[in-house]
């Protein structure tokens, strides 16, 4: 349980993609952070593109960086 106390999970929108798995993410609370891909996503070769909704784990100690832990499915594209 000690691990989880240091991080908070937010949802946001990827606005920009950088080399080596870094992304600019605008969180729902309007914060802009630098997100990097977690190893699990990298291993499953999930493509993350600008415009994707993602879940980001943000450290309490450094609120400018976060780890992208999940890419949310587009609810609109199922129609």
To the nearest whole percent, how much of the chain has pLDDT over 90? 59
What DSSP letter does each residue of 16-79 carry, written as one string?
EEETTTEEEEEETTS-EEEEEE-HHHHHTT----TT-EEEEEEESS-TTEEEEEEEPPPSGGG-
In CATH, what number is assigned to the domain containing residue 32? 2.40.50.140
Domain count for the chain, please give it.
1
Q: Is residue 2 part of a domain?
A: no
Structural domain of 39: 8-71
Q: Is residue 77 part of a domain?
A: no
pTM listed for this prediction? 0.81
Give the pLDDT means over successive 10-residue stretches in the chain (79 positions): 70 94 94 93 90 94 93 64
pLDDT of residue 11: 96
């Amino acid at each position: 349980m000690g691990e989880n106390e240091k991080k908070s999970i937010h949802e946001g929108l990827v606005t920009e993609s950088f080399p080596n798995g870094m992304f600019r993410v605008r969180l729902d609370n309007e914060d802009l952070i630098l997100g990097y891909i977690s190893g699990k996503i990298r291993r499953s070769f999930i493509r993350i593109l600008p415009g994707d909704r993602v879940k980001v784990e943000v450290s309490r100690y450094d609120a400018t960086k976060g780890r992208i832990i999940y890419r949310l499915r587009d609810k609109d594209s199922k129609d």
